[in-house]
Protein backbone atom coordinates (compact mmCIF):
# COMPACT_ATOMS: atom_id res chain seq x y z
CA UNK A 1 0.00 0.00 0.00
CA UNK A 2 1.15 3.50 -0.75
CA UNK A 3 0.68 5.62 2.36
CA UNK A 4 0.72 9.35 2.97
CA UNK A 5 1.22 10.52 6.54
CA UNK A 6 0.35 14.10 7.50
CA UNK A 7 2.37 15.93 10.16
CA UNK A 8 5.89 16.68 11.35
CA UNK A 9 6.14 15.93 15.06
CA UNK A 10 7.40 13.15 17.31
CA UNK A 11 4.04 11.43 17.00
CA UNK A 12 4.41 11.28 13.22
CA UNK A 13 8.01 10.06 13.50
CA UNK A 14 6.82 7.17 15.67
CA UNK A 15 4.01 6.43 13.20
CA UNK A 16 6.35 6.54 10.19
CA UNK A 17 8.94 4.36 11.89
CA UNK A 18 6.37 1.68 12.66
CA UNK A 19 4.43 1.93 9.39
CA UNK A 20 7.66 1.39 7.47
CA UNK A 21 8.31 -1.85 9.38
CA UNK A 22 5.06 -3.31 8.10
CA UNK A 23 5.28 -5.84 5.26
CA UNK A 24 2.15 -4.19 3.85
CA UNK A 25 3.79 -0.78 3.52
CA UNK A 26 4.82 0.16 -0.01
CA UNK A 27 5.86 3.70 -0.70
CA UNK A 28 5.60 5.88 2.43
CA UNK A 29 5.39 9.67 2.10
CA UNK A 30 5.13 12.26 4.83
CA UNK A 31 3.91 15.84 4.42
CA UNK A 32 5.85 17.78 5.51
CA UNK A 33 7.82 15.41 7.81
CA UNK A 34 11.15 16.14 9.51
CA UNK A 35 14.76 14.90 9.29
CA UNK A 36 14.03 11.89 11.54
CA UNK A 37 10.95 10.91 9.57
CA UNK A 38 13.10 11.12 6.41
CA UNK A 39 14.79 7.85 7.52
CA UNK A 40 11.47 6.02 7.10
CA UNK A 41 9.48 8.09 4.59
CA UNK A 42 9.98 10.38 1.65
CA UNK A 43 9.22 13.84 2.99
CA UNK A 44 7.30 16.15 0.70
CA UNK A 45 7.08 19.92 1.18
CA UNK A 46 3.32 20.25 1.54
CA UNK A 47 1.96 22.12 4.56
CA UNK A 48 -0.60 20.33 6.76
CA UNK A 49 -3.22 23.00 6.03
CA UNK A 50 -2.71 22.89 2.26
CA UNK A 51 -5.72 20.63 1.73
CA UNK A 52 -5.76 21.04 -2.06
CA UNK A 53 -2.03 20.29 -2.23
CA UNK A 54 -2.55 17.11 -0.20
CA UNK A 55 -5.41 15.92 -2.42
CA UNK A 56 -3.46 16.59 -5.62
CA UNK A 57 -0.41 14.76 -4.28
CA UNK A 58 -2.47 11.79 -3.06
CA UNK A 59 -4.10 11.38 -6.47
CA UNK A 60 -0.86 11.86 -8.34
CA UNK A 61 0.98 9.20 -6.29
CA UNK A 62 -1.96 6.79 -6.18
CA UNK A 63 -2.06 6.86 -2.39
CA UNK A 64 -4.07 3.98 -0.88
CA UNK A 65 -4.31 5.39 2.63
CA UNK A 66 -3.83 8.81 4.21
CA UNK A 67 -3.07 8.92 7.94
CA UNK A 68 -3.59 12.28 9.62
CA UNK A 69 -1.49 13.02 12.74
CA UNK A 70 -2.51 16.46 14.05
CA UNK A 71 -5.95 17.88 14.90
CA UNK A 72 -5.76 21.07 12.81
CA UNK A 73 -6.34 19.51 9.38
CA UNK A 74 -9.01 17.16 10.82
CA UNK A 75 -11.05 20.02 12.23
CA UNK A 76 -10.31 21.83 8.95
CA UNK A 77 -12.02 19.10 6.92
CA UNK A 78 -9.14 17.13 5.39
CA UNK A 79 -10.76 13.73 6.00
CA UNK A 80 -14.04 14.92 4.44
CA UNK A 81 -12.20 16.12 1.36
CA UNK A 82 -10.24 12.89 0.95
CA UNK A 83 -13.45 10.95 1.39
CA UNK A 84 -15.14 12.95 -1.36
CA UNK A 85 -12.23 12.09 -3.66
CA UNK A 86 -12.52 8.39 -2.82
CA UNK A 87 -9.20 8.23 -0.95
CA UNK A 88 -9.21 6.12 2.23
CA UNK A 89 -8.31 8.17 5.28
CA UNK A 90 -7.54 7.38 8.89
CA UNK A 91 -8.96 10.28 10.89
CA UNK A 92 -12.39 11.74 11.72
CA UNK A 93 -14.58 14.02 9.65
CA UNK A 94 -14.59 17.68 10.57
CA UNK A 95 -17.93 17.25 12.32
CA UNK A 96 -16.75 14.27 14.37
CA UNK A 97 -13.48 16.08 15.17
CA UNK A 98 -15.62 18.65 17.00
CA UNK A 99 -15.19 16.34 19.98
CA UNK A 100 -11.77 18.02 20.16
CA UNK A 101 -12.38 21.16 18.10
CA UNK A 102 -15.17 22.53 20.28
CA UNK A 103 -15.16 22.04 24.02
CA UNK A 104 -18.78 23.26 24.11
CA UNK A 105 -19.78 20.58 21.56
CA UNK A 106 -17.91 17.93 23.53
CA UNK A 107 -19.40 18.91 26.91
CA UNK A 108 -22.94 18.99 25.52
CA UNK A 109 -22.42 15.63 23.79
CA UNK A 110 -21.06 13.86 26.86
CA UNK A 111 -23.75 15.33 29.11
CA UNK A 112 -26.43 14.21 26.67
CA UNK A 113 -25.01 10.70 26.87
CA UNK A 114 -24.63 10.77 30.67
CA UNK A 115 -20.86 10.33 30.55
CA UNK A 116 -19.25 11.45 33.83
CA UNK A 117 -17.61 14.85 33.35
CA UNK A 118 -17.02 18.04 35.36
CA UNK A 119 -20.13 20.24 35.88
CA UNK A 120 -19.98 23.17 33.45
CA UNK A 121 -21.60 26.14 31.79
CA UNK A 122 -20.96 27.60 28.32
CA UNK A 123 -20.90 31.33 27.73
CA UNK A 124 -20.47 33.99 25.08
CA UNK A 125 -21.54 36.81 27.40
CA UNK A 126 -18.93 38.02 29.91
CA UNK A 127 -21.41 39.24 32.54
CA UNK A 128 -23.28 35.95 32.57
CA UNK A 129 -19.96 34.11 32.83
CA UNK A 130 -18.94 36.34 35.73
CA UNK A 131 -22.15 35.57 37.62
CA UNK A 132 -21.54 31.83 37.12
CA UNK A 133 -17.95 32.12 38.34
CA UNK A 134 -18.96 34.10 41.44
CA UNK A 135 -21.69 31.59 42.24
CA UNK A 136 -19.39 28.57 41.78
CA UNK A 137 -16.26 29.95 43.47
CA UNK A 138 -12.59 29.04 42.99
CA UNK A 139 -10.63 27.04 42.02
CA UNK A 140 -12.43 26.94 38.72
CA UNK A 141 -11.42 26.06 35.16
CA UNK A 142 -11.89 28.36 32.16
CA UNK A 143 -11.55 26.86 28.67
CA UNK A 144 -11.53 28.52 25.27
CA UNK A 145 -14.05 26.65 23.11
CA UNK A 146 -11.86 26.18 20.02
CA UNK A 147 -8.39 24.86 19.25
CA UNK A 148 -5.70 26.82 21.06
CA UNK A 149 -2.58 24.67 20.65
CA UNK A 150 -2.98 23.20 24.13
CA UNK A 151 -2.95 26.64 25.78
CA UNK A 152 -6.67 27.35 26.04
CA UNK A 153 -7.21 25.99 29.56
CA UNK A 154 -6.79 28.22 32.61
CA UNK A 155 -6.95 26.69 36.08
CA UNK A 156 -7.94 29.79 38.03
CA UNK A 157 -7.12 29.74 41.74
CA UNK A 158 -9.21 32.82 42.47
CA UNK A 159 -12.54 34.18 41.26
CA UNK A 160 -10.81 37.36 40.03
CA UNK A 161 -8.31 35.36 37.96
CA UNK A 162 -11.14 33.37 36.38
CA UNK A 163 -13.07 36.53 35.52
CA UNK A 164 -10.01 38.17 33.93
CA UNK A 165 -9.22 35.03 31.90
CA UNK A 166 -12.83 34.78 30.75
CA UNK A 167 -12.97 38.43 29.64
CA UNK A 168 -9.67 38.10 27.77
CA UNK A 169 -10.97 35.03 25.95
CA UNK A 170 -14.42 36.39 25.11
CA UNK A 171 -13.02 39.68 23.81
CA UNK A 172 -10.82 37.73 21.38
CA UNK A 173 -7.63 39.10 22.96
CA UNK A 174 -6.41 35.76 24.31
CA UNK A 175 -7.11 33.19 21.59
CA UNK A 176 -8.85 35.05 18.78
CA UNK A 177 -11.91 33.27 17.40
CA UNK A 178 -11.18 30.13 19.48
CA UNK A 179 -12.00 32.08 22.66
CA UNK A 180 -15.24 33.77 21.57
CA UNK A 181 -17.12 31.14 23.52
CA UNK A 182 -15.89 29.66 26.80
CA UNK A 183 -16.64 26.58 28.86
CA UNK A 184 -16.33 27.18 32.58
CA UNK A 185 -16.20 24.07 34.70
CA UNK A 186 -15.77 22.60 38.11
CA UNK A 187 -12.17 22.00 39.17
CA UNK A 188 -11.45 18.30 39.68
CA UNK A 189 -8.74 17.26 42.08
CA UNK A 190 -7.23 13.89 41.24
CA UNK A 191 -4.65 12.10 39.12
CA UNK A 192 -4.76 12.14 35.33
CA UNK A 193 -4.42 9.37 32.83
CA UNK A 194 -4.97 9.09 29.10
CA UNK A 195 -6.80 6.28 27.37
CA UNK A 196 -6.92 5.55 23.65
CA UNK A 197 -9.15 3.57 21.33
CA UNK A 198 -9.36 3.30 17.55
CA UNK A 199 -12.79 3.40 15.96
CA UNK A 200 -14.16 2.92 12.45
CA UNK A 201 -17.48 4.67 13.07
CA UNK A 202 -19.23 1.58 14.41
CA UNK A 203 -16.69 -0.73 16.00
CA UNK A 204 -13.83 0.20 18.26
CA UNK A 205 -10.63 -1.47 19.38
CA UNK A 206 -9.24 -0.53 22.79
CA UNK A 207 -5.62 0.54 22.58
CA UNK A 208 -3.96 1.20 25.90
CA UNK A 209 -3.26 3.88 28.48
CA UNK A 210 -0.50 6.39 29.09
CA UNK A 211 0.32 9.13 31.54
CA UNK A 212 1.56 12.48 30.28
CA UNK A 213 3.54 15.15 32.18
CA UNK A 214 2.07 18.52 31.24
CA UNK A 215 4.09 20.92 33.40
CA UNK A 216 7.51 22.04 32.29
CA UNK A 217 9.29 21.44 35.61
CA UNK A 218 10.12 18.45 37.81
CA UNK A 219 7.46 17.52 40.35
CA UNK A 220 4.77 18.93 38.03
CA UNK A 221 5.72 22.58 38.57
CA UNK A 222 5.91 25.56 36.21
CA UNK A 223 4.01 26.37 33.05
CA UNK A 224 1.80 24.02 31.07
CA UNK A 225 3.28 22.48 27.93
CA UNK A 226 2.14 20.12 25.19
CA UNK A 227 3.66 17.28 27.23
CA UNK A 228 7.20 16.83 28.59
CA UNK A 229 7.17 13.05 28.73
CA UNK A 230 4.91 10.03 29.02
CA UNK A 231 4.92 6.37 29.86
CA UNK A 232 2.59 3.52 29.02
CA UNK A 233 0.72 1.79 30.59
CA UNK A 234 -0.34 4.32 33.24
CA UNK A 235 0.08 2.96 36.76
CA UNK A 236 -3.56 3.79 37.60
CA UNK A 237 -4.80 1.52 34.86
CA UNK A 238 -6.22 -1.68 36.30
CA UNK A 239 -8.57 -4.07 34.47
CA UNK A 240 -11.44 -2.64 36.59
CA UNK A 241 -10.55 0.94 35.68
CA UNK A 242 -10.35 0.02 32.01
CA UNK A 243 -13.77 -1.59 32.15
CA UNK A 244 -15.27 1.53 33.75
CA UNK A 245 -13.74 3.75 31.07
CA UNK A 246 -15.00 1.51 28.28
CA UNK A 247 -18.52 1.13 29.72
CA UNK A 248 -19.08 4.67 30.96
CA UNK A 249 -17.21 6.72 28.34
CA UNK A 250 -15.97 5.02 25.20
CA UNK A 251 -18.93 2.82 24.25
CA UNK A 252 -21.54 5.57 24.89
CA UNK A 253 -19.41 7.94 22.81
CA UNK A 254 -18.89 5.70 19.78
CA UNK A 255 -22.53 4.53 19.87
CA UNK A 256 -23.85 8.04 20.52
CA UNK A 257 -21.86 9.57 17.67
CA UNK A 258 -23.20 6.89 15.32
CA UNK A 259 -26.79 7.42 16.49
CA UNK A 260 -26.44 11.15 15.96
CA UNK A 261 -25.30 10.54 12.37
CA UNK A 262 -21.81 11.73 13.19
CA UNK A 263 -19.80 8.48 13.21
CA UNK A 264 -16.34 8.71 14.71
CA UNK A 265 -13.45 7.20 12.77
CA UNK A 266 -9.87 7.53 13.99
CA UNK A 267 -8.17 7.69 17.37
CA UNK A 268 -10.32 8.73 20.28
CA UNK A 269 -8.05 9.96 23.08
CA UNK A 270 -9.76 10.42 26.44
CA UNK A 271 -8.14 12.72 29.00
CA UNK A 272 -9.38 11.38 32.31
CA UNK A 273 -9.15 12.55 35.91
CA UNK A 274 -9.33 9.77 38.45
CA UNK A 275 -11.04 11.12 41.56
CA UNK A 276 -11.38 8.74 44.51
CA UNK A 277 -10.94 5.77 42.20
CA UNK A 278 -13.61 6.86 39.70
CA UNK A 279 -12.80 8.06 36.17
CA UNK A 280 -14.18 11.44 35.09
CA UNK A 281 -13.78 12.65 31.53
CA UNK A 282 -11.86 15.93 31.20
CA UNK A 283 -11.58 16.13 27.45
CA UNK A 284 -11.50 14.25 24.19
CA UNK A 285 -8.86 14.57 21.51
CA UNK A 286 -9.45 13.05 18.10
CA UNK A 287 -5.89 11.95 17.33
CA UNK A 288 -2.93 10.25 18.97
CA UNK A 289 -1.34 12.21 21.81
CA UNK A 290 2.17 13.51 21.51
CA UNK A 291 4.32 12.20 23.27
CA UNK A 292 1.86 9.46 24.35
CA UNK A 293 1.88 8.01 20.83
CA UNK A 294 5.60 7.32 20.96
CA UNK A 295 5.08 5.12 24.03
CA UNK A 296 1.88 3.42 22.90
CA UNK A 297 3.16 2.41 19.49
CA UNK A 298 6.35 1.01 21.05
CA UNK A 299 4.12 -1.52 22.82
CA UNK A 300 1.85 -2.46 19.91
CA UNK A 301 2.16 -6.14 19.04
CA UNK A 302 0.18 -6.02 15.80
CA UNK A 303 0.63 -4.72 12.27
CA UNK A 304 -0.03 -0.96 12.36
CA UNK A 305 -0.89 -0.70 8.65
CA UNK A 306 -3.55 -3.41 9.00
CA UNK A 307 -5.01 -1.72 12.07
CA UNK A 308 -5.25 1.79 10.65
CA UNK A 309 -6.38 0.57 7.24
CA UNK A 310 -9.17 -1.53 8.78
CA UNK A 311 -10.34 1.50 10.76
CA UNK A 312 -10.26 3.72 7.68
CA UNK A 313 -12.37 1.20 5.71
CA UNK A 314 -14.93 0.40 8.42
CA UNK A 315 -13.59 -3.16 8.90
CA UNK A 316 -12.35 -3.16 12.48
CA UNK A 317 -14.77 -5.99 13.32
CA UNK A 318 -12.62 -8.33 11.20
CA UNK A 319 -9.45 -7.79 13.25
CA UNK A 320 -10.55 -6.46 16.63
CA UNK A 321 -9.68 -9.62 18.54
CA UNK A 322 -6.20 -9.85 17.06
CA UNK A 323 -4.75 -6.61 18.37
CA UNK A 324 -2.27 -7.35 21.17
CA UNK A 325 0.05 -5.35 23.40
CA UNK A 326 3.52 -6.19 24.59
CA UNK A 327 3.60 -6.79 28.31
CA UNK A 328 6.30 -4.19 28.85
CA UNK A 329 6.68 -0.47 29.49
CA UNK A 330 7.60 2.33 27.15
CA UNK A 331 8.69 5.72 28.43
CA UNK A 332 9.40 8.90 26.49
CA UNK A 333 11.46 11.83 27.77
CA UNK A 334 10.90 15.01 25.78
CA UNK A 335 13.95 17.18 25.11
CA UNK A 336 12.86 20.78 24.66
CA UNK A 337 14.72 23.87 23.52
CA UNK A 338 15.77 26.51 26.06
CA UNK A 339 12.92 29.00 26.43
CA UNK A 340 10.08 26.51 25.90
CA UNK A 341 7.12 26.82 26.51
CA UNK A 342 7.76 30.55 25.93
CA UNK A 343 9.93 31.37 22.93
CA UNK A 344 12.23 28.42 22.26
CA UNK A 345 15.77 29.05 21.05
CA UNK A 346 16.17 27.91 17.43
CA UNK A 347 18.95 26.60 15.22
CA UNK A 348 21.18 25.21 17.98
CA UNK A 349 23.10 22.12 16.81
CA UNK A 350 22.16 18.73 18.28
CA UNK A 351 24.79 15.98 18.29
CA UNK A 352 24.81 12.42 19.57
CA UNK A 353 21.42 11.18 18.39
CA UNK A 354 22.97 8.10 16.77
CA UNK A 355 24.84 7.34 19.97
CA UNK A 356 21.69 7.75 22.08
CA UNK A 357 19.91 5.34 19.74
CA UNK A 358 22.40 2.59 20.64
CA UNK A 359 21.13 2.30 24.23
CA UNK A 360 19.12 -0.88 24.66
CA UNK A 361 15.48 -0.47 23.66
CA UNK A 362 15.90 3.23 22.89
CA UNK A 363 14.67 5.11 19.84
CA UNK A 364 15.05 8.88 19.56
CA UNK A 365 12.08 10.40 17.74
CA UNK A 366 12.47 13.80 16.11
CA UNK A 367 9.74 16.29 17.02
CA UNK A 368 10.98 19.76 16.13
CA UNK A 369 14.19 19.39 14.15
CA UNK A 370 15.59 20.61 10.84
CA UNK A 371 18.91 20.42 9.01
CA UNK A 372 21.12 23.49 8.66
CA UNK A 373 23.13 24.28 5.52
CA UNK A 374 25.96 22.06 6.77
CA UNK A 375 23.54 19.16 7.06
CA UNK A 376 23.63 19.13 10.87
CA UNK A 377 20.49 18.48 12.91
CA UNK A 378 19.29 21.66 14.61
CA UNK A 379 16.42 22.61 16.91
CA UNK A 380 13.43 24.01 15.03
CA UNK A 381 10.65 24.06 17.60
CA UNK A 382 9.76 23.91 21.28
CA UNK A 383 9.62 20.18 21.85
CA UNK A 384 12.54 18.90 19.81
CA UNK A 385 13.22 15.21 20.55
CA UNK A 386 11.37 12.32 22.20
CA UNK A 387 13.85 9.89 23.72
CA UNK A 388 11.79 6.72 23.99
CA UNK A 389 12.82 3.57 25.85
CA UNK A 390 11.12 0.20 25.79
CA UNK A 391 11.89 -2.20 28.66
CA UNK A 392 10.43 -4.87 30.92
CA UNK A 393 9.52 -2.43 33.70
CA UNK A 394 9.18 1.28 34.33
CA UNK A 395 12.40 1.64 36.35
CA UNK A 396 14.50 0.07 33.58
CA UNK A 397 12.76 2.06 30.84
CA UNK A 398 13.39 5.24 32.77
CA UNK A 399 17.06 4.44 33.47
CA UNK A 400 17.64 3.60 29.81
CA UNK A 401 15.86 6.71 28.54
CA UNK A 402 17.97 8.99 30.76
CA UNK A 403 21.15 7.12 29.81
CA UNK A 404 20.31 7.97 26.19
CA UNK A 405 19.48 11.58 27.11
CA UNK A 406 22.93 11.89 28.69
CA UNK A 407 24.59 10.71 25.48
CA UNK A 408 23.07 13.61 23.54
CA UNK A 409 25.29 16.60 23.06
CA UNK A 410 22.91 19.54 23.02
CA UNK A 411 23.73 22.13 25.69
CA UNK A 412 20.75 24.31 24.72
CA UNK A 413 18.24 21.53 25.33
CA UNK A 414 16.60 20.48 28.59
CA UNK A 415 14.23 17.83 29.89
CA UNK A 416 12.38 16.83 33.01
CA UNK A 417 14.33 14.31 35.10
CA UNK A 418 11.33 12.71 36.77
CA UNK A 419 9.18 11.16 34.05
CA UNK A 420 6.98 8.40 35.56
CA UNK A 421 7.59 9.62 39.12
CA UNK A 422 4.01 8.80 40.05
CA UNK A 423 4.42 5.20 38.94
CA UNK A 424 7.69 4.80 40.79
CA UNK A 425 6.45 6.37 44.01
CA UNK A 426 2.98 4.81 44.11
CA UNK A 427 2.89 2.38 47.03
CA UNK A 428 2.09 -1.16 46.00
CA UNK A 429 1.43 -0.21 42.41
CA UNK A 430 4.81 -0.98 40.95
CA UNK A 431 3.88 -4.56 40.26
CA UNK A 432 3.33 -5.28 36.61
CA UNK A 433 5.02 -2.13 35.38
Find the shortest distance in angstroms from Cβ 100 to ligand GLY. Answer: 9
For ligand GLY, give the closer residue by CB, 263 or 386.
386
3-state SS of 72-121 is HHHHCCHHHHHHHCCCCEECCCCCCCHHHHCHHHHHHHHHHCCCCECCEE
Q: Among ligand GLY, ligand AMP, none, what binds residue 165 when CB lies within 5 to 8 Å by partner kind?
A: none
CB 113 within 8 A of CB 252: yes
Separation between Cα atoms, residue 226 and residue 221, nearest integer Å: 14
Q: Which does 283 bind (CB under 5 to 8 A by kind): ligand GLY, ligand AMP, none?
A: ligand AMP
- Residue 292 touches which member of ligand AMP, ligand GLY, none, C-beta under 5-8 Å by kind: ligand GLY
Query: 48 contacts which partner out of ligand GLY, ligand AMP, none, CB within 5 to 8 A by kind?
Result: none
Q: Which does 97 bind (CB under 5 to 8 A by kind): ligand AMP, ligand GLY, none?
A: none
Q: Which residues contribute to the site for ligand GLY (CB under 6 A)?
A: 150, 212, 226-227, 285, 289-290, 292
Smallest gap from Cβ 314 to ligand GLY, in A, equals 26
Nearer of residues 40 and 295 to ligand GLY, judged by Cβ: 295
Contact 17, 30 (CB under 8 A): no
| Whether the Cβ atoms of residue 385 and residue 366 lie closer than 8 Å to each other | yes
Task: Report how far apart, in Å, the C-alpha atoms of 299 and of each of 36, 61, 293, 397 are.
Answer: 20, 31, 10, 12
Residues 6+ apart with CB under 8 A from 399: none
In the bound state with ligand AMP, the residue whose beta carbon lies nearer, of 273 and 296, is: 273
Q: How far is the CB of 227 from ligand GLY (least distance, A)?
A: 3
**Residue 71 or 200 having the CB closest to ligand AMP:** 71
Distance between start and end Cα atoms, the chain: 36
13 close to 75: Cβ distance less than 8 angstroms: no
Nearer to ligand GLY, 18 or 296 (CB): 296
Nearest distance from residue 280's CB to ligand AMP, in Å? 8
Residue 322 to residue 345: CA distance in whole angstroms = 45
Q: How far apart are CA 235 and CA 394, in angstroms?
A: 10
Chain positions contacting ligand AMP, by CB under 6 A: 118, 141, 150, 153, 155, 185-188, 192, 214, 271, 282-283
Amino acid sequence: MNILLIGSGGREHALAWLLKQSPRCGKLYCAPGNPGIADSAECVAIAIDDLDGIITFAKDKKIDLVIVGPEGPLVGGLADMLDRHGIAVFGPSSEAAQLEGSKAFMKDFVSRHKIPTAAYGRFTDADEAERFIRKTGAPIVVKADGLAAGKGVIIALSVEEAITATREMLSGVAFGAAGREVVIEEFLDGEELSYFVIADGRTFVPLTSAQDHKRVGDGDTGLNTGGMGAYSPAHLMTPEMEQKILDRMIRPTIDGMMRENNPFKGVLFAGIMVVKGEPILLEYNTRFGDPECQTILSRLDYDLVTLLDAAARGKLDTIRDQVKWKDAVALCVVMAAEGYPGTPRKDTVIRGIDLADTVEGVKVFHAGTARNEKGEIVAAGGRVLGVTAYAKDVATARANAYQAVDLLNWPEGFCRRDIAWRALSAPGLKKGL
